Structures are given as structure tokens and as C-alpha cells.
Amino acid sequence: MLYTSLWVHGDISYFSMMLSRLVSMLNPFPGMKHLDVAGGTGDVAFRILDGISSIKRRANQDPINDHLQEETQIHVCDINPNMLNVGRKRAIERGLGEDKSLKWVEGDAEALSFEDNTMDGYTIAFGIRNVTHIEKVLAEAYRVLKHGGRFLCLELSHVEVPVFKEL
Ligand SMILES: C[S@@+](CC[C@H](N)C(=O)[O-])C[C@H]1O[C@@H](n2cnc3c(N)ncnc32)[C@H](O)[C@@H]1O
């Protein structure tokens, strides 16, 4: 599996930096409803929760934000139950085992089980390369996102256009 060897032997700090950048562009907020697709490891979800916790700390845990924190929902969706188990285990190791904001959902990015127009954010990191029909994944992301919701896709690829190779 190409993915496994890349993940095991790749530059972990570089991947980590890219995931952090993804979450920073997402601009998470307390009370948000978010869907991280192909997210079984939990890496993106944990960063989103960290971001929300630091907002809460900055807001001095005011009661309004406390209430919103309760309503925060970060859905981690992955087609592979073993990957979800890895994520759940890592959540427990991080002390997030009882965190009600985290929801682990087995599902296919091409046919999501979520309602239309329900998510403030949608992320897919290093996942879109694995799907069979990218257009279905994009249609599903569009369907579940609220108007004005954020879609962020992080992927690695080869650059063919010379001008972009310089960047
Ligand atoms: C490279 S991993 C993603 C890692 C994770 N997003 C991260 O950044 O740490 C790719 C994931 O895509 C999942 N996947 C593959 N096809 C999928 C599909 N159609 N729907 C949902 N998840 C899928 C795999 O099970 C695997 O967990």
C-alpha cells in the first residue's frame, strides 16, 4: 500500500504542519458542526478540538462559550472501521475518550448519512485520492454543508505546470 509506506516513512512533521494549516484555515469555533471525512486517525478532529479549546480559554470560559462547547459536534467519518478504532484509541490516550463532541461514524464519502445543510465545515485530508468517484464526494460535501460553510481538501500530488513547480 502506497499510502501506508508514505505515512510510515514520510516526513511526519511536514504532514503535521499541513494538518495544522488546514485547521487554521478552517477557523473552528465553539458550537460548530463539523465533518472530517476519511478522518479515521482522528488527527484533524483532535486539532479542531484543540483550536476550539484555546478559543474557550481565551474567552475565559464564559458561560455562553461553555454552552456552545457542549453543542460542538466533530464527526469523524471513515469507511474503514479499523481506522476508526485507531482514532478512538488515540482519543482515549489524549483524554478525549468521554468527549461528547467527538462522533465516530463509519461511512462512505460518496454517500454520506448526514442530513442536507447541516455542517459548518467539511474537511478531507489525504483522503480524496482514495475514493472512486471524486465528483460524488464533492456533491456530498456540497449537500451536507450549510450555506457559507467551509470546504477544505488537503492532498498531495505531482505538479505538472512549470510555473507552479517554482512555488
Ligand atoms: C490517508 S488516510 C487519511 C488520514 C487522515 N485524514 C489524516 O489526515 O490523518 C485515508 C483514509 O481514507 C479512508 N477512505 C478511503 N476511501 C473512503 C471513502 N470512500 N469514504 C470514507 N473514507 C474513505 C481510509 O479508510 C483511510 O482511513
Task: State the CATH number of the domain containing residue 96.
Answer: 3.40.50.150
pLDDT of 86 above 80: yes
More confident residue, 6 or 104: 104
Q: Mean pLDDT over residues 43-54, rounded?
A: 95
63 domain residue, yes or no? yes
More confident residue, 59 or 130: 130
Report pLDDT for 83.
97
How many distinct structural domains can be found in the chain? 1
* Nearest atom within ligand 1 for CA of residue 41: 9
Element (H, E) at 104: strand 102-106
Report pLDDT for 92.
97
Judge whether 87 and 41 are in contact, CB under 8 Å.
yes
More confident residue, 10 or 28: 28
148 domain residue, yes or no? yes
* Nearest atom within ligand 1 for CA of residue 19: 8
Report pLDDT for 69.
55
Residue with the nearest Cα to atom 8 of ligand 1?
125
pLDDT of 44 above 70: yes
* Nearest atom within ligand 1 for CA of residue 7: 1
57 domain residue, yes or no? yes
Range of the structural domain that residue 99 is part of? 31-156
DSSP state, 159? -
Dihedral (Cα; 112, 38, 83, 35), 10-degree rounding: -60
71 domain residue, yes or no? yes
Residue with the nearest Cα to atom 25 of ligand 1?
80
